[in-house]
Amino acid sequence: MKILLSGVTRGYGALRCGRNLGTALLISGVIAGGARAEIVVAALGDSLTQGYGLPQDDGFVPQMEMWLRDQGYEVELINAGVSGDTTAGGLARVAWTLTPEVDAMIVALGGNDFLRGIDPAVSRENLAGILEAARAADVEVLMVGLEASSNYGPDYKAAFDSMYPELSDEFGVSLVPSWFDGILAASDSDGPSAFMQPDGIHPNAEGVSVIVDALGPAVVDLVESVSD
């Protein structure tokens, strides 16, 4: 992702008070009606995954789950997004995210690390720990990267941007280069504002729909990789 507002220094989950209180219940594998979906995918992320500022049905997880079902895939997508989370937070909770029911995992973290100016070497180590945990649990991973702006200089940007493809190669996991690629591709000359909430950081419902359309094929590949 290229952070859409250059110069923003607050974490994009900092506006949300509290945690996603429903995550622990969902992670436990409780599925409506007591039926277990054929494939269970955990989406480990921050406010972008959690659905900050949106009605529940308009967030990334429900929109992606509906998109997959419309494509004919029986998938339960677990919302393991926590608003304001960094890669360190993701690493701290990946063990209890990877319950026996989880077949695959989407990892979308790092934006808050950038916005807080955390050393990319630290972020990289945390992401590596998450990927190591997934490997130990024999869980397939799709990693969604980000592209930093130049707030902290070219060296920081280069180190941050490169950690995603390098970790993808190191661990042999699939990678979508940027969470916001779909929005940037769909934006007109006025920029992406039509797809964003007033804070300029989080997508609105239409923006999430565009993101889902762009990420969907990679998530299908992830689902099919564990269906074989």
Indicate which residues carry an active-site annotation.
47, 199, 202
Got the DSSP string for 41-82? EEEEESHHHHTTTS-GGGSHHHHHHHHHHHTT--EEEEEEE-
> CA 197 to CA 194: how far, in whole Å?
8
Cα 122 from chain centroid (whole Å): 18
Report helix, strand or coil for 142: strand
Q: Is there a contact between 65 and 40 (Cβ–Cβ < 8 Å)?
A: no
b/e for 145-163, b at 16 or more Cβ within 10 A? Answer: bbbbbeeeeeebbebbbeb
> CA 100 to CA 107: how far, in whole Å?
17
